[in-house]
Amino acid sequence: MSMPQPEPVDHCGYLPAAVDPSALALNENPFPPLPSVRSALVEALGSANRYPEFLPQRMRSLLAAQLGVRDEQVVIGAGATGVIMQVLQALTEPGDAIVLTTPTFDGYPIFAQMARLRSVTVPLDVHGHHDLEAMADAARTARVVVLCRPHNPTGTIEPVADVERFLARVEPGTTVLLDEAYVEFLSPAERLDTRSLVLRFPNVVVVRTFSKAYGLAGLRIGYGFCAPELGRRLWNMQLPFGIGVTGLVAAAACYRAEDELQHRIRIIGAERRRLRAQLSKLGVYSTDARANFVYLPGVRPWREVFDSAGLRVRHYADGGARVTVGTRQSTRAVLTAVSTAALR
């Protein structure tokens, strides 16, 4: 007699596949959480009946120690998204202007709308680089200006000296959101010295996340840091009980597993270099991307190419496509899609 099988539980459709080589649209990490992070999470689930810390003070201290800054310089949010909204809520009034590039991370136009800001856009050049002069000009009458480094969707970075010149040009009353959601993919030489920048430029807020290199997109945890005075203003907008215990515990576990995570980050970086080199051999130009994605300007019918291969990538209005770097299997699928389309 066969035993009755339990009905599969659908969890309201809330459990995406952890491993999915076709999921290349959201710049997620292809690796599921490390065993040590998973076991910390399982432990955390056992106390889900309890609230998390009222304000995430212990995580603030942990992040401050990691960054080499003071506690009052750090704020924490539900992903970088939460931190960005916290900044906009604390520092802007409806009707203020925010300077964004086009294209940029899709979230920004939505955040601007939520905060009832007026978006002023500055186009990137053909290689996906910022026109920092034009952005500084536009920032003269704006309350906030956003600079993503590496940029999404192009993955490009502006040279350190150019960024510093840009920051020096922005008025102290205009906040610069320096979005470093992908900073961990940069080599030390490519990084800005943000710890000293926020002290030299007290209008700069650096925003980072555990969603990308640390692979915790589903747990919604990110942070920002800035000069102490601004940090205190932003901490006043810290949502009580706003960061769930799973995110707090998993972020702490990531720092204990830094070596293993750095290894994964190196694998993703190597895969990106390989993907770009192979695309180039196929005659496909991609921008000089330094994060966990590549950007293909709209010179081919990318929607058709990737849809017909069953690959989910992010498409742009001008025909460009942003492809997340996944495992070797994903790279093969992307290259096969591109070369098959070329033969048709």
User: Applying CB under 6 A, which residues contact ligand PLP?
Assistant: 27, 79-81, 105, 107, 148, 152, 179, 181, 209, 211, 217, 222
With respect to ligand PLP, which residue has the nearer C-beta, 86 or 338? 86
Minimal CB distance to ligand PLP: which residue? 79
CB of 5 to ligand PLP, least distance (A): 37
What is the 3 state secondary structure string of 229-250? HHHHHHHCCCCCCCCCHHHHHH
With respect to ligand PLP, which residue has the nearer C-beta, 324 or 338? 324
With respect to ligand PLP, which residue has the nearer C-beta, 24 or 338? 24
With respect to ligand PLP, which residue has the nearer C-beta, 313 or 338? 313
Q: Which two tokens stand for residue 142?
A: 């704006």
CB of 191 to ligand PLP, least distance (A): 16
CB of 179 to ligand PLP, least distance (A): 5
With respect to ligand PLP, which residue has the nearer C-beta, 105 or 295? 105
CB of 326 to ligand PLP, least distance (A): 15
CB contact burial 284-311 (16+ within 10 A = b; e otherwise): bebbebbbbbbbbbeebebeebbeebeb
Q: Are 291 and 322 in contact (CB under 8 A)?
A: no
CB of 293 to ligand PLP, least distance (A): 9
Measuring CA to CA, which residue among 46, 30, 74 is closest to residue 234? 74
Contacts of 203 (CB under 8 A, 6+ apart): 170, 171, 172, 173, 174, 175, 176, 230
CB of 141 to ligand PLP, least distance (A): 24
With respect to ligand PLP, which residue has the nearer C-beta, 33 or 79? 79
Q: DSSP strand E in the chain: where? A: 23-24, 74-77, 97-102, 118-123, 144-148, 175-179, 204-209, 222-225, 293-296, 312-315, 321-324
